[in-house]
Amino acid sequence: MTGFKKGIVAAAAICLLALTGTAIYAGGSSESKSEETYEMVVANVLTGSHTHSMALAHFAERCDELTDGRLELTVHNDGVLGAERVVMEQVQLGSTEFTRTSAAVLTGIVPEIAVFGLPYLFDSVSQMYEALDGDLGNYFKDKLEKEGLLVLGWFDYGARSVIAKEPVRSPDDLVGKRIRVQESPLDVKTFKAFGAAPVPLPWPDQYPALDSGVIDATENSPDTLYDGRFHEVVKYLSLTEHFIQPTVLYVSKIVFERFPKDIQDAVRQAGKDAVAFVQEHQADRIEERLESLQDEGAIIVEDVNKDAFRAKAVSVYDEFLSEHAELKPFIDEIRK
């Protein structure tokens, strides 16, 4: 063999070795690669003092502990990495690794996850967790995984209610009112059925829209409304409690599949620990935030005619089920 040919063979062998090494690593079974370290990010639109943000901090800590420091996560709060829909797309591509978003933004890739925009679907947070820990949760985990998102856990933030310039005791009080809703077609339909003029907007656009009077109202859980500081510009928080919806903690599937098995296990465990954190703290936090809202000038309206809202919701269920008949067994099970 000439020196030139020997050189080519040696170069090919080095390339093969490199490729083989990469393949073993991607398969996640290489002991020799298990000392690899990772620095990654978690994107979040809420401020650092929201329960979900604290749960993300806990998630990052647990990833650190469970991997002996090999997976280091930095949580970026306040939407600095973009609004939720943008971040969700980044996570699909693997350019942002982890996030927590509302289920509503996921309707862009799994339309039927809009189901959580059915008003009064769940009577309680525990009923929601029961459904998500069972067949309904698995159904959406599979759908989201096919779209490149791996669900690590579902968070609750209690029931969502309307905050507005004026009290909202019945659907009549919403007629013609421009209310910000999440970017989910079913949230829009629900508020149309309630008589309002819904305006889907990303989370960060609400405060300026309320402040300038472009919209009259928004809706969310007390913890999240407080986080958004909306009570600085609209005072009446009416406890309509129309939605109990999950938010979702997920990781990019592309990224997850590159982790060795021990890191994958740690990430899944840390996800469970983050959910347990939310379940331990969220209910108390809602009570605290209701008090803080009042201390800071909000007026809580408790005498809401929920039956009148429920009556308006019937057509929303009918239309949703005509479009997504496959979800009927789940809805029947929840509402039996």
Give the interface with ligand MLT as residue ranges (CB under 6 A).
Answer: 45-46, 84, 101-102, 182, 203, 220, 224, 247
Which residues have a Cβ under 8 Å from the Cβ of 241 and sit 6 or more positions away?
159, 160, 161, 304, 306
Looking at the Cβ atoms of 45 and 239, the one nearer to ligand MLT is 45
Asked if 39 contacts 74 with a C-beta cutoff of 8 angstroms, the reply is yes
Which residues sit opposite 155 in a β-bridge?
247
CA within 13 Å, CB half, 246:
28
Which residues sit opposite 244 in a β-bridge?
159
Burial 227-238 (b: 16+ CB within 10 A, else e): bbebbebbbbbb
| Shortest CB 38 distance to ligand MLT, Å | 25
- For residue 150, give the H/E element and its range: strand 149-164
Cβ atoms < 10 Å from Cβ of 5: 9
Radius of gyration of the chain from Cα atoms? Answer: 23
| Shortest CB 333 distance to ligand MLT, Å | 25
Looking at the Cβ atoms of 266 and 278, the one nearer to ligand MLT is 278
| Shortest CB 221 distance to ligand MLT, Å | 7
Looking at the Cβ atoms of 149 and 263, the one nearer to ligand MLT is 149
| Shortest CB 267 distance to ligand MLT, Å | 21
Looking at the Cβ atoms of 120 and 230, the one nearer to ligand MLT is 230
CA distance 284 to 231: 20
Looking at the Cβ atoms of 156 and 266, the one nearer to ligand MLT is 156
| Shortest CB 163 distance to ligand MLT, Å | 12
| Shortest CB 219 distance to ligand MLT, Å | 8
Handedness of CA 97, 100, 105, 111 (dihedral sign): positive
Looking at the Cβ atoms of 46 and 196, the one nearer to ligand MLT is 46
